[in-house]
Structure 1
């Protein structure tokens, strides 16, 4: 029997599935690099390996998918911000030890032209997109406080990051990737927490589904705290890939979130990023 669906419903299904696929794409690329004997202190370090194009491409796909799920609810606004942070993680690489003066960790000079080009391109396109979002919101009659707050936050992030990079390039290259990555996962944890906490207006929402969202939220937060404690405690000097394991756990929880949401909202006749969980758009 043929299942009747709308084109919008199918599109939202495929976008959510694409988020899972992009995460799997990244995991396989990193896994192959590890299997062939590559030394990776973190998932982000894949940027400097043959898995680099997979790392960057998967994060770009995740960013585009999150933006495609754009809307006016609080959760959707948070995920729009997370999309911009994903681009920062993709195009501003983590630091490494090799070829750095005085033994300090840095972004190697050889990749700096690519970093400047890619980051400037991403920032420019995001700003153009923000202007386009304002125009579309006005034309479509969907403009509201939540829409403009989200756009304002994104513009502030881009302009703030650009200013940081211009005025203090060494500090920017040393810290921007980590700040963006931690912020990205913190936002995902917040969205998962909102999904677990907010009841459905119609009384729906299986208890098991909400429990899964809660596990994802708590799991990501615990992982971030544990990573911070391990790094500050010097665990990274032990030779055990603490950051790699922590990032892998966070990515797995990210994939779990989207898997649960894909299953929960598969038949939603009016699909939005969190379906009926957004009671009233903030606009």
Structure 2
């Protein structure tokens, strides 16, 4: 076989492997999210239809193993997945990293006698501290690896947006570290909730960033101003914002499990966004043909 033909074949095989890995990565987030939803759904059935106050409360249920494992796996996939812009990449990385905190730092639990405020049970504290140290240490190692071993990600160090993303990531990490070191009791009480809130803000932001990116791409393609912004990602972003507001305003006063409803709604909508984007980028993830598709 001629050298040129062999080289061309190797390039095609390499591209096929990259594409297959990309597809599996995107599919993994979908399947892992469904895994979490299935485990919680089965637990609700086992409990006779009773629903706990939040998705995070299933940490203390028989679904605990799936809760922790799926969050960690989804978090890892989000960090690994490369965003198409510096902002999207930061949002994915930070949300993915916080998923580990949501998994390992449990939500405070009401005391058995119902007296006092909710706290993380004492028998979980040592595990939380140990696992949090592990997340922080490996997070620092990952940052060093990112800077020293992965020079191909030039966008993260040379562009203005990349430099801003780098500074933000470093400051956010230092903030988490200081919170854990200097306010340990408050970290145990509020760490899970704060991490979950910022994680959800991050995934909503990912949808919004894609809406803006599609609008800009459509502008370059000659779309009208209205057609630019009325795209599926903008609809998805607005849908997440509106549903969150409606649940807080209209559902919270009447439903004790309103946090569960809010979390489930945002997770389901983000899953819908991720599935839509996976279909669009299935054959050519490097192209921007998705920006020109009506809808």
| Category of TM-score, reference length = shorter chain | 0.7 to 0.9
* Stretch moving more, 125-134 or 188-197: 188-197
Matched, 1:22 2:32: yes
Q: Is the 8 A contact 2:51 2:257 kept in 1?
A: no
**For residues 71-101 of structure 1, what are the alpha-carbon distances to aligned partners after superposition, in whole Å with 9 as ceiling and x for unaligned?**
5712122211111121121111111102489
**3-state DSSP of counterpart to 1:93:** coil
What CA distance in whole angstroms lies between the structure 1 residues aligned with 2:152 and 2:238? 40
Alignment gaps of 5+ in structure 1: 278-283
Kindly tell me: are residues 190 and 269 of structure 1, through their superposed partners in 2, closer, same or farther at Cα, counting changes over 3 Å? closer
Give the C-alpha shift of residue 7 in structure 1.
1.6
**3-state DSSP of counterpart to 1:259:** helix
What CA distance in whole angstroms lies between the structure 1 residues aligned with 2:139 and 2:25? 20
* Stretch moving more, 187-196 or 14-23: 187-196
What CA distance in whole angstroms lies between the structure 2 residues aligned with 1:269 and 1:256? 18
Match of 1:45 among 43, 48, 57: 57
Matched, 1:211 2:231: yes
Match of 2:43 among 17, 26, 33: 33
Q: Which has the higher contact order (CA 8 A, sep 6+)?
A: 1
**3-state DSSP of counterpart to 2:118:** coil
Kindly tell me: are residues 82 and 275 of structure 1, through their superposed partners in 2, closer, same or farther at Cα, counting changes over 3 Å? farther
Kindly tell me: are residues 99 and 117 of structure 1, through their superposed partners in 2, closer, same or farther at Cα, counting changes over 3 Å? farther
Match of 2:158 among 144, 155, 166: 144
Superposed CA RMSD in Å reads 3.1
- When normalised by structure 1's length, the TM-score is 0.82
What CA distance in whole angstroms lies between the structure 1 residues aligned with 2:68 and 2:230? 32
What CA distance in whole angstroms lies between the structure 2 residues aligned with 1:187 and 1:230? 24
Alignment gaps of 5+ in structure 2: 1-12
* Stretch moving more, 123-132 or 168-177: 168-177
Aligned to 1:182: 197
Q: Is the 8 A contact 1:212 1:260 kept in 2?
A: no
- When normalised by structure 2's length, the TM-score is 0.79
Q: Is the 8 A contact 2:247 2:261 kept in 1?
A: no
Give runs of aligned pairs for residues 66-215 of structure 1, distance below 5 A.
66-70=78-82, 73=85, 74-99=87-112, 102-138=115-151, 141=154, 143-145=157-159, 146-199=161-214, 200=217, 203=221, 211-215=231-235
| The structure with more radius of gyration | 2
Aligned to 1:281: none
Match of 1:265 among 252, 257, 281: 281
What CA distance in whole angstroms lies between the structure 2 residues aligned with 1:129 and 1:268? 29
**For residues 194-227 of structure 1, what are the alpha-carbon distances to aligned partners after superposition, in whole Å with 9 as ceiling and x for unaligned?**
212223377499x799733223212322344345
What CA distance in whole angstroms lies between the structure 1 residues aligned with 2:51 and 2:127? 23
What CA distance in whole angstroms lies between the structure 1 residues aligned with 2:190 and 2:208? 27
Aligned to 2:5: none
What CA distance in whole angstroms lies between the structure 2 residues aligned with 1:151 and 1:63? 19
Kindly tell me: are residues 222 and 150 of structure 1, through their superposed partners in 2, closer, same or farther at Cα, counting changes over 3 Å? same
Aligned residues: 268
What CA distance in whole angstroms lies between the structure 2 residues aligned with 1:191 and 1:109? 36
